[in-house]
Amino acid sequence: MWHQLAITVDESSAEPVSDFLSNLGAVSVSFEDAGDQPLFEPKPGETPVWRQTKVIGLFDADADIDHIRNSIEKAFGERVLQFQLEDLEDREWERAWLDYFQPMRFGHRLWICPTGFEPPEPEAVNVLLDPGLAFGTGTHPTTALCLEWLDSQDLEGKTVLDYGCGSGILAVAALKLGAAKAYGVDIDPQALTASDDNARKNGVEAKLVLGYPKELAAVRVNVLLANILATPLIELAAEISEKVRPGGSLALSGILATQVEIVRAAYASQFDFSPPVIREEWASLTGVKRQG
């Protein structure tokens, strides 16, 4: 058994409460939104918190919960808006996401299957995936839009760059769909580790090159996908555009539907775009780079 303490505080108290829980012996501390405030675009290295944040500490079963609670109340007093205690049964936490992540089909031939599941259609293009600590399972609309677009492309013999590769899902899918070589770029070392692991699970590690942006600065490809967010897409427009060869294809996602025009404008001098595809509140933009 584990004890889970959830302390709701305002944003100014979230970090101090987190440190306090760690000092009291919490084996892990995490943040959740205690209200309904989306956080879409944190800067690299930032740990944003919500105006009302739930700070969740996980403690061993033999932890003195009364002492911990009294210590928190003494230290933070009225700054604690709510205090919740829950006992949790032990389980394989790193595999808990499998309760929610099932095999999914994208387009006509592409399936994403979590590690440990038998592919529903063995003859289809199956990508075996374990995201680890990196973002990207296909469940989010932005990733789904990119996967469906990849499924519709003729990638045979082409080179592909997944800019902001996360779990490597797009790069690995492109290779399974026939790409000759893929590159994965990310600023997070956990993303590069997860991408390498997933490439090995799918037997495509020899065709995937991973690195930080500066390490792959000279790469030029036929197809580039960037499933990040609107602000970095705009800030990196010159760099991303340069990596696509003339006549090559570009897919941008992680964009809110209300941000389509401002993102399109950042690339319009070099690319001709198709109409955006919108799902829920999210959108993807795909285009072709002009010759010359």
Tens of pLDDT, residues 63-88:
999 999 999 999 999 999 999 999 88
What is the percent of the chain where pLDDT is above 70? 89
Q: What is the DSSP string of 172-224?
A: HHHHHTT-SEEEEE-S-HHHHHHHHHHHHHTT-GGGEEEE-GGGGTT--EEEE
Among the listed residues 200, 197, 232, the one whose alpha carbon sits nearest the alpha carbon of residue 213: 232
Q: What is the pLDDT of residue 156?
A: 97
* Bridge partners, residue 56, by sequence: 6, 30
Crossing angle of helices 169-176 and 189-201, in 10° steps, is: 30
Tens of pLDDT, residues 25-44:
999 999 888 877 666 555 55
Going by pLDDT thresholds of 50, 70 and 90, the confidence category of residue 137 is low
- Report the predicted TM-score, pTM, of the whole model to 2 decimal places: 0.73
CATH code for 135-289?
3.40.50.150
Tens of pLDDT, residues 232-286:
999 999 999 999 999 999 999 999 999 999 999 999 999 999 999 999 899 999 9
Q: What is the pLDDT of residue 93?
A: 53
**2-90 has which fold?**
Alpha-Beta Plaits (3.30.70)
Domain boundaries, the chain: 2-90, 135-289
Eight-class DSSP state of 257: G
